Amino acid sequence: MGRHILQREQAITFVKETFAAGLKKALNLTPVSSPIVVLDGTGINDDLNGIERPVTFPIKSLDDQRAVVVHSLAKWKRIRLRELEMEPGEGILTDMRALRPDEDYSPIHSIYVDQWDWECCITPDHRNLTFLKKTVEDIYAVIYGTEQAVAQQYPHIEAVLPENIHFISSEELLLTYPDLTPKERENAIAKEYGAVFLYGIGGNLSNGMPHDGRAADYDDWSTGNERGYRGLNGDILVWNPILNAAFELSSMGIRVDKKALMTQLEIRNSLDRQQLTFHQMLLNDLLPESIGGGIGQSRICMFMLKLKHIGEVQVSIWDPKRKETLLDQGVELL
């Protein structure tokens, strides 16, 4: 059993090293250090859907000022671009570790999150769907190439991804499958095409509901695009034949400018947040235009190695009954 786990750990390392090297080259990224905690009340932490509770604690040396364990580094990265004096076409890549204690356990979710968080400087002219799609294609080429490398290194693992990724807006997807739930729509389109970039996630669709939740202050989900829909963000989804379901590998997008930030804060009735540190920096032209996202490390490894459960590729906390049930099913968690 121990030797089997060791072999899996070696395969995980192969996947991570292969993918990270490809991503750095494809997007011209420089690896940088990143925090596990940030100060509370600054607006820097990722609020996800706005309801998840971060891990928080007082810092004795700062007069008990509170800090929070990050959910992700979506906004921190944009500040770091400015501090590092990055130019358009340059970007950063960081090995992000986060805790999301309100996450519901599932085969693809745990309270521990590990991502390749990346962010690139762009110009205002890049704030369009064409540039977003080009960036997605560059990332998908790395995903596809990694799966090919894994299949060559481990011949018993079958490569299943198509060579090209399909693009569709969340509104088009709703109109295609009006009687399905958002997750059912994702399953249908991912099964049909094998790999999909679903864009325009966060704003209300024609049925009065968003496809999925997004925070108001990093991805731009309100700006009109060339296709006549709204949103310059989205998710990379692939069809997972092991789970028989759509499988999200990345959430990404062009970040809000001042106009989009204020529009989205107003939509979410959160205009009070404009006084926070991050938001003031953006509103006072102290942050560069950027595009960025997070790519799940455990998700990539799970998909590439064709495993059933995220706990097979990361060490997290699981209840004993769940672990025992999974072991009976042949799923051995790390």
Q: What is the residue-wise DSSP string for 82-93?
A: HHTT--TT-EEE
Which residues belong to the active site? 46, 100, 115, 235, 248, 251
Q: DSSP character for 276? A: S
Burial of 196 (0-12, 13-18, 19+ CB in 10 A): buried
Q: What does the alpha-carbon distance between residue 245 and residue 243 come to, in Å, rounded to a whole number?
A: 5
Contacts 24+ apart (CB under 8 A), 109-114: 109/310, 110/298, 110/310, 110/311, 110/314, 110/316, 110/317, 110/318, 111/316, 111/317, 112/314, 112/315, 112/316, 112/317, 113/71, 113/72, 113/296, 114/296, 114/297, 114/298, 114/314
Contact by Cβ (8 Å): 178, 208: no
Contact by Cβ (8 Å): 237, 246: yes
Contact by Cβ (8 Å): 41, 276: yes
